[in-house]
Structure 1
Amino acid sequence: MLAGLALGATVPGLPDALSAIQVDGVSVPIALGLLVMMYPPLAKVRYDQFGAVAADRRLMVVSLILNWVVGPAIMFTLAWLLLPDLPEYRTGLIIVGLARCIAMVVVWNDLACGDRNAAAFLVTLNSIFQVVMFAGLGWFYLDLLPGWLGLQTGTLDVSMWQIAKSVLIFLGIPLAAGFLGRRILERVRDRQWYENTYLRRISPLALYGLLFTIVILFSLQGRQILDRPFDVARIAVPLLLYFALMWTGAYYTSRLVGMDYPRSATVAFTAAGNNFELAIAVAIGTFGAASGQALAGVVGPLIEVPALVALVYVSLKLRKRISPASSTEGTRS
């Protein structure tokens, strides 16, 4: 993060040069970083076990309610309570709350030793819901609900293709690569070679991709963050509360209904993360790149990254408390 801020603030023209590398409105550097980051965790998924994951009704019901009912409602509430005088930032945060995570959650879940199969399944399920529900929820939380409550209303002009494009690029490509790569390589060699040799070799790519993506994100917005620190701080407060409330509520709800640690962690990270690429694209496309809505979208991942890294450590502490033996074994592997 510090390296990205320094690069963006000190290298003349770097943010503009990086922003210019786009294909159909999608940042190529960020897309490459995310795809490299996501491939190793999705390559580790045993797709032949998806049936067992889908059979867990508790997992699906809890995750869908948290993502599509609780999450947007909490972000709406926090945005109005903490930013009542800043309508542009408030709208930007509401958009962030509607964009459920389909990318980095796979890495957070992997770092926290969550259930990889369940994470891949839930991310796919949420992606389908995202395509179907994003625009409708945007209308509900920006226009209909504020009107009912006597608050200021807004609009959200977003196409179905814009949402589907984000899902196809940031989930479809690495998911297809993980699935097809496992099928092909296991047939050419065998599962033992694939999991004991191939996966060990590609695992570091996830960390490299994550670090590259973080540097690019912070370098793109380094000057804006340094020029408007008070605004960033105002936006950061509801975001931090959101991540803490969503993760904690999701984790303990999952434990309460009888899920084990791996699936509880998976539900928690799936509920707490957000699809910042979609949120930023929608904010820029609807309100403009220089708008407050776009700045709120940009601040989202800048706060999410350190917040969810911290929650990975919290999660691992809870795992150690629940099962010290398996925690030590998992750390060694």
Structure 2
Amino acid sequence: MTSLPPVPSRPARLGTADRFLPVWILAAMGLGLFLAVAAPGLGEALHAFSIGSISVPIAIGLLVMMYPVLAKVRYSDARAVAGDKRLLVSSLVLNWVVGPALMFALAWIFLPDLPEYRTGLIIIGLARCIAMVLIWNDLACGDREAAAFLVALNSVFQVIAFAALGWFYLQILPAWLGLSTTSAEFSFWAITASVLVFLGIPLLAGYLSRRIGEATRGRDWYESRFLPKVGPFALYGLLFTIVMLFTLQGQQVIDRPWDVARIALPLLVYFLVIFLVGFVVGKLIGMSYERTATLAFTAAGNNFELAIAVAIGTFGATSGQALAGIVGPLIEVPALVALVYVALWLRRKLFHSPTPPASAPTPVGVAERV
């Protein structure tokens, strides 16, 4: 691989796997649906392979996916992110004020007659992303250090605020507006376990990898020799996670296609609107493209594992709320892949900054951006 001197963290060329990332994602979705139909017993077996509210197959995929991205973060540089009050305040407002409020509004606008699906969407809006957002941010050439810091910050807020916001959006606010209310109990353990497993483990592994690697062999060896070897596993983990999701939930999607379409429409609107709001905010407050992209993707992503666990634990595995939680990631993955391309287009149009030669004309690949 030829290095690019001005930006050593980006490759000079893309591999086949990265150039055709949307194709591989669609293939993984198709494979998952095929397995769900052809081997229904496999889905049941995977469902049973859980520890508490954590699906072990999905956990394995997410951990494999996140470790290479977090191993690439220069943690010494991430400390500077804490001093960027514009980024921190705008991220907290978008994630914990605008995002949940937008999903609440869309749920009531699109699903006024379907309270179970509506509740499921509201729960998705409360579960802020702590996993896949790192992949989308990396593909869009966002600020890797800022993304890691914001994900950690949102994780703390998730543990503190999730249950309170759930109570507010399902009971207090609907009562104020004269709408029907929903009673729900949120497991503090489910929320904490989600944060610890899907962020804590890979974050600790990535941090220790960089500290130990740089201390023993130096930064040049770590970034030019070690990272290229572990980088492809982010793509493998992403595709494995998608296959597992569609294998686990594909039968429900096939059995209730109209319901899935009703749930998908407000989700698509949500991802697009909150993403564009993030870009507009970043541009207006004068942030660079890299941090603006990070702001937009951390606002648009959701912690689907937590949303599904809460919906199933509170309302049951066959409930409409659980189906809404299941549809969430099935729509989010292709939607945010598409938004990666939108981000790179906005980079040229709004920031007058051409995509680096290493990534043109397609997004920088998750397997090779090291």
TM-score band by shorter chain is: over 0.9
Contact 2:53-2:190 within 8 A present in 1 as well: no
For each residue in 1:67-121, what CA deviation from the matched residue of structure 2 results, as whole angstroms up to 9, or x when unmatched?
0000000000000011000000000000000000000000000011100000000
The partner residue of 1:327 within 356, 366, 369 is 356
How is 1:168-317 mapped onto 2 (pairs within 5 angstroms)? 168-317=196-345
The partner residue of 1:135 within 163, 166, 177 is 163
Distance 1:60 1:170 in 2: 22
Contact 2:187-2:310 within 8 A present in 1 as well: no
Contact 1:76-1:141 within 8 A present in 2 as well: yes
Distance 1:22 1:326 in 2: 42
Q: Cα RMSD between the aligned structures?
A: 1.2
Distance 1:173 1:292 in 2: 31
TM-score by length of 2: 0.88
1:124 corresponds to = 152
Offset at residue 317 of structure 1 (A): 1.9
| More helix as a share of residues | 1
Give aligned-pair identity as a percent.
Answer: 66
* Bigger Cα displacement from structure 2, 317-326 vs 307-316: 317-326
Q: For the structure 1 residues 252 and 120, does the alpha-carbon distance in structure 2 shift closer, same or farther, using more than 3 Å as the test?
A: same
Offset at residue 156 of structure 1 (A): 1.9
Letter of the 1:200 partner, please give it: P
The partner residue of 1:14 within 21, 24, 42 is 42
Q: Which runs of 4+ in 1 moved over 4 A?
A: 323-326, 329-333
How is 1:146-185 mapped onto 2 (pairs within 5 angstroms)? 146-185=174-213
How is 1:49-60 mapped onto 2 (pairs within 5 angstroms)? 49-60=77-88
Task: In structure 2, list runs of 5 or more residues that go unmatched.
Answer: 1-28
Offset at residue 316 of structure 1 (A): 1.6
For each residue in 1:231-279, what CA deviation from the matched residue of structure 2 results, as whole angstroms up to 9, or x when unmatched?
0000000000000000001111111100000000000000000000000
> SS at 2:279's partner residue?
helix
Offset at residue 329 of structure 1 (A): 4.2
Offset at residue 325 of structure 1 (A): 5.0
For each residue in 1:265-323, what CA deviation from the matched residue of structure 2 results, as whole angstroms up to 9, or x when unmatched?
00000000000000000000000000000000000000000000000111122224435
TM-score by length of 1: 0.98
* Bigger Cα displacement from structure 2, 104-113 vs 316-325: 316-325
2:10 corresponds to = none
How is 1:3-152 mapped onto 2 (pairs within 5 angstroms)? 3-152=31-180
For each residue in 1:121-174, what CA deviation from the matched residue of structure 2 results, as whole angstroms up to 9, or x when unmatched?
000000000000000000000000000111000122112221111000000000
* Bigger Cα displacement from structure 2, 318-327 vs 66-75: 318-327
Offset at residue 25 of structure 1 (A): 2.5
